[in-house]
Amino acid sequence: MALASWFGWNDPPMRISQRSPTEMVIETLMMELGWQIKEAEKQQRERENEYRKIKTGVDYGWLVSYPKHSYDISPGERLQLEDMCSKIHPSYCGPVIIRFRQLVAEYEPEASEVSRLFRSVLHDAVEKIKEEEDAKRLAKQWNTKHKTSLSLTTFKSRTRISPFSSGIKTISEDVERGTDPARRAWSMPEFRSTKDY
């Protein structure tokens, strides 16, 4: 019996379970939300300090200690946001984060408003994904229907229509000559077979 088998250093390393792409998207988007909330709190504190400086004329910011993270979203709202994040395809994760950052930079929301802004970005992304899936589905349906009907349209007719042929008699010619048209069929284009050409 080998003594090395008693020790764990010869065992193969235990692999951490692989997470699904959906879990990765949820984690990434929720981390981005948490970071943006912290940044919004930080900017809000800086705005308050600037306001106090302007109001009092003295900077007491070095005396004040702030909590690390004071605002947190409710568990129910977190679950709803995670559910919306699960509907995001991994290829849309980056564009969603970019759009979210653009809106945060544009509106400079307070910490309590960041989650609503995030929800609107997720909702827009889910709608866009649905629209693209519907368009793909319709294109696929069109292509399958169109392939079957193309076999009928590729058949070329041997009959050709020549509406500007000089030998066509029309009603207007009879009016100009002052005669009654014998048949109305003269105004129709002339049909010729390809053998006539």
Report, as an integer, the average pLDDT of 60-88.
Answer: 83
* Tens digit of each residue's pLDDT (9 = 90 or more) over 148-180: 555 555 555 555 555 555 555 655 655 556 555
Q: pLDDT at position 45, please?
A: 86
Per-residue three-class SS string for the chain: CCHHHHCHHHCCCCCCCCCCHHHHHHHHHHHHHHHHHHHHHHHHHHHHHHHHHHHHCCCCCCCCCCCCCCCCCCHHHHHHHHHHHHCCCHHHHHHHHHHHHHHHHHHCCCHHHHHHHHHHHHHHHHHHHHHHHHHHHHHHHHHHHHHHHHHHHCCCCCEEEECCCCCCCCHHHHHHHCCCCCCHHHHCCEEEEHHHC
Give the Å distances, CA to CA, from 75 to 11, 30, 59, 110, 146: 41, 13, 37, 19, 50
Query: pLDDT confidence of 48, banded at 50, 70, 90?
Result: confident
Mean pLDDT of 39-52: 88
pTM above the 0.85 mark? no
Task: Give the end-to-end CA distance of the chain in Å, rounded to a whole number.
Answer: 99
According to the per-residue pLDDT averaged within each range, which of 54-58, 64-68, 117-121, 174-178 is highest?
Answer: 117-121
Return d(Cα 186, Cα 188) in angstroms, integer.
5
